[in-house]
Amino acid sequence: MLDTGNENKGMPLDEALFKDARVNLSAVERRCASYSARRSVKKAHQAAWLLRAVGLIDLTTLAGDDTVNRVKRLCGKAKIALDPTIQAQLGLTKPVQTAAVCVYPTMVETAATAVAGTGIGVASVATGFPAGLIPLPLKLEEIRYAVASGATEIDIVITRSLVINQDWAGLYDEISQMKEACGKAHLKTILGTGDIASLRNVYRASMVAMMAGADFIKTSTGKETVNAILPVGLTMVRAIREYNALTGAQVGFKPAGGISTAKDALVWMSMMREELGTDYLQPHLFRFGASSLLTDIERQLEHHATGRYSAAKHHAIS
């Protein structure tokens, strides 16, 4: 299991800290536009950033037709994330790994066995993913099942109607019980930001999740119409910064859904560096939820090493 730094023990719900918060959409959009405009890492520096990005990926398969063999292949890719030829061309002496693999609860045991002894985390979605519309006792039982099967991280989904109805006490109670059910596993709380209507709600839900003990807050399931977008990300990381000022706890951040290119990854990493500092570009504080991102990063690193691009189909499953 990865070290999470300062564990978030949560705090009592205090609505006064977020209830009257406002988010200036125009200012958020201007700030987000600046990240890509000022992104300046090139050549060897860009390659170094992309190698770091590989180690921040939760390599994911969450399809209805997932099989044991597919999960085993995914885990193999997580353990040797770059083609050995590319690694040699870059002068790397040991395999580059992803931070974790992310699967459904029924695939956790397969994944845990496949990555045993590597330090790669096993993340399991739970709580009726992706909609979360099952009774709370079943959500808690699903968490316990995944943990008992070997999950070191649990990606839960909240009941979005609690946010829409401004039921902050209900949301706090739900997440608190999920945190307890996780035991020693890390709780990553998916807000489903594409479903909760406004950046103001995103900020409020982020604060409630952290107060309830979330170790990470995550944008999306990847199944919403709108998934990880920079304005939502900025709103969430500003909430993380303010929560850290209140409690001293470092809560992680995971954008997920729609991040598929190396360029996308660099922009998100630039945002994290500028808003929270270089220390946050570590797997215990920042993750990409992705299934195809690794392919493009591998292509870009091959181009850096050889000057040539290969087609995505020439790279192993990612």
Catalytic residues: 155, 218, 254
Instruction: Write the CB contacts of 91 (distance below 8 Å, at least 6 apart in sequence).
Output: none
Residue with tokens 């920079």: 230
Neighbour tally for 38: CB within 10 Å: 9
CA atoms within 13 A on the CB side of 207: 25
Rounded CA-CA distance 90/241 in Å is 35
**Torsion sign over Cα 36, 230, 206, 17:** positive
| Residue 84, preceding peptide bond in cis (omega within 30° of 0) | no
Rounded CA-CA distance 267/36 in Å is 6
Using DSSP, state whether 56 is helix, strand or coil. Answer: coil
Neighbour tally for 184: CB within 10 Å: 7
